[in-house]
Amino acid sequence: MSETKRRLTGIKPTGVPHIGNYFASIKPFLHPEPGVESLYFIANYHSLTTQREGGPLLHSTYDVAATLLALGIDLDHTVLFRQTDVPEVAELSWILSCFTGMGLLERAHAYKDAVTKGRDLHAGLFTYPVLMAADILLYDIDEVPVGSDQKQHVEIARDIAGSFNHAYGQEIFKLPNPKIDETVMIIPGLDGKKMSKSYGNVIGIFEEEKSLKKKIMAIPTDSTPLEEPKRVEGSTIFSLFELFGTDDAILDFKKRMNQGGMGWGHAKVELFECMRDYFSPYRQHYETLMASRSEIDRVLLEGAERARAMARPKLQAVRQVVGFSS
């Protein structure tokens, strides 16, 4: 029997789940490959580092969960849970912090970035990677698929695991590997820059139809007259169309734009329809879930029970080796 591989990913609930999130951290995880056991959690402890309003944090937590469920995340092969429903992670985080050199955290890019930008610093921003290490090490994870911005955090988790194991001369923690998917492209936002909440250029996965249309119609394009042939490469409209259209539709779209006689206004309407139709089969389910949080809670709590069944024995082993219990 071949061994199953355990993979984990976390998504921070901040703002609406948008199509940048969809392609980077949702779509690749909806249907795990055979032989892979996935853990997928909503990192609401981590959101507290930047979100100081309770209502929006809570709303976003449900929004992420409803989005994943509506899009059909495979619950037979994925343990889906909310980070705060597994309090073991907070205890482990404290224990791990005692095995984390200050220098390791001082070198973290995300932290250095916050310093450079003159953000209000607090200890949570500094120890963010320790909590992230606890997320990973609690479950004997083999692989953590991450974008390049998070790779260093997984390496820090590896270092912390190594320090702990070394201190007690035992392999308590499995060393996780970051897995960077080089093929994940950068999703352009409304202004052509990378789609990101911090740039205010996002399109929600379940953006309302009216608002979706308005946003797409406002995307800047060049002023080539309607009759003239248009180059589509490098345009935001085409880059987005390429993500959502079928291969045939993309070819056809490009051909008609290249021929001339089709204006950007028309192109935008086609993009709008294409994006609307892409997510429309899932929208009703999403709205039903969002209307009553009880079904989401039920699924998340069930996931948390499965996660805790893995977390408890690990934490128990840690408590024993450090001398908290016999």
- Applying CB under 6 A, which residues contact ligand TRP? 8-10, 12, 43, 46, 132, 135-136, 144, 146, 150
CB of residue 119 to ligand TRP, shortest distance in Å: 15
According to DSSP, residue 81 is labeled: E
Long-range contacts of 227-236 (CB under 8 A, 24+ apart): 227/260, 227/261, 228/260, 229/257, 229/258, 229/259, 229/260, 230/257, 230/258, 230/260, 230/262, 230/264, 231/258, 232/257, 232/258, 236/188, 236/190, 236/191, 236/192
- For residue 149, give the 3-state DSSP assignment: helix
Select from 135, 148, 132 the least CA-distant residue to 180. Answer: 148
Pick the closer one to ligand TRP by CB: 8 or 219: 8
Nearer to ligand TRP, 73 or 136 (CB): 136
Residue nearest to ligand TRP (CB): 10
Q: Determine how many CB atoms are found less than 10 A away from the CB of residue 243.
A: 19
Choice between 197 and 256, CB closer to ligand TRP: 197
* Nearer CB in complex with ligand TRP: 49/235: 49
**Nearest distance in Å: CB 142, ligand TRP:** 13
Q: Are strands 177-180 and 143-146 parallel, antiparallel or unpaired?
A: parallel
- Least Å from the CB of residue 6 to ligand TRP: 12
Q: How far is the CB of 39 from ligand TRP (least distance, A)?
A: 9
Give me the helix-helix angle, 236-244 and 247-259, nearest 10°: 150
Rounded to the nearest whole angstrom, what is the least distance from the CB of residue 197 to ligand TRP in the complex? Answer: 11
Nearer to ligand TRP, 10 or 189 (CB): 10
Instruction: Give min distance, CB of 234 to ligand TRP, in A.
Output: 28
Question: Residue 283 contacts by C-beta under 8 Å, 6 or more apart in sequence?
Answer: 70, 206
Closer CB to ligand TRP, 10 or 245, in the complex? 10
**Side-chain half-sphere of 150: how many Cα atoms within 13 Å?**
20
The CB-of-244 to ligand TRP minimum distance in angstroms stands at 23
Token pair belonging to 236: 């935001």
Nearer to ligand TRP, 43 or 262 (CB): 43
